[in-house]
């Protein structure tokens, strides 16, 4: 697999994560807590995908590393909001899968940073 193919797959994966977070948020019970945490996780999950696209279009190695660090930070933030959201028992499995994906993305971006620096 070429380097470009790997980048594209991660672009696709981060976009899918943001979409899945959005679908999960749409299904949550309404509460003030969920409203506020939902806004935050929508922003942070979308930011992962957007910043990874920006990283792949960067003009320098320094800019690439900076963007990937933002991706890692936003993945950590997404994980936090997903942990704080209250859902119905039947939604718990989806919430846990999203938390796991955020954790995996954090690790992937951490590895990219380590290899790039």
pLDDT digits (tens, 9 = 90+) for 21-51: 999 999 999 999 999 999 999 999 999 999 9
Residues 3-31: what's their mean pLDDT? 88
C-alpha pair distances (Å), 26 with each of 35, 60, 76, 96, 100: 10, 38, 21, 16, 19
Band of residue 1 on the pLDDT scale cut at 50, 70, 90:
very low
Q: What is the pLDDT of residue 74?
A: 98
Band of residue 4 on the pLDDT scale cut at 50, 70, 90:
low
Q: What is the pLDDT of residue 86?
A: 95
Band of residue 8 on the pLDDT scale cut at 50, 70, 90:
low
Say what angle helices 32-56 and 3-26 make with each other, to 10 degrees.
Answer: 170
Distance CA 64, CA 69 (A): 9
CATH number of 3-116: 1.20.1440.60
Q: What is the pLDDT of residue 79?
A: 98
pLDDT digits (tens, 9 = 90+) for 69-111: 999 999 999 999 999 999 999 999 999 999 999 999 999 999 9
User: What SS3 class is residue 39?
Assistant: helix
Distance CA 95, CA 30 (A): 16
Predicted model pTM: 0.91
Segments making up each domain of the chain, as ranges: 3-116
| 3-16 exposure pattern, b = at least 16 Cβ within 10 A, e = fewer | eeeeeeebeebbbe
């Amino acid at each position: 697999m070429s380097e470009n193919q790997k980048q594209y797959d991660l672009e696709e994966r981060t976009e899918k994560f943001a979409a899945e977070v959005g679908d999960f948020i749409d299904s949550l019970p309404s509460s003030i807590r969920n409203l506020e945490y939902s806004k935050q996780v929508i922003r942070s999950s979308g930011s992962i995908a957007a910043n990874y696209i920006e990283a792949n279009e960067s003009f320098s190695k320094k800019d690439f590393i900076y963007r990937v660090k933002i991706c890692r930070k936003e993945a950590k933030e997404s994980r936090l909001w997903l942990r704080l959201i209250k859902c119905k028992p039947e939604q718990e499995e989806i919430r846990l899968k999203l938390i796991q994906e955020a954790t995996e993305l954090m690790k992937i971006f951490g590895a990219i940073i380590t290899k790039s620096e």
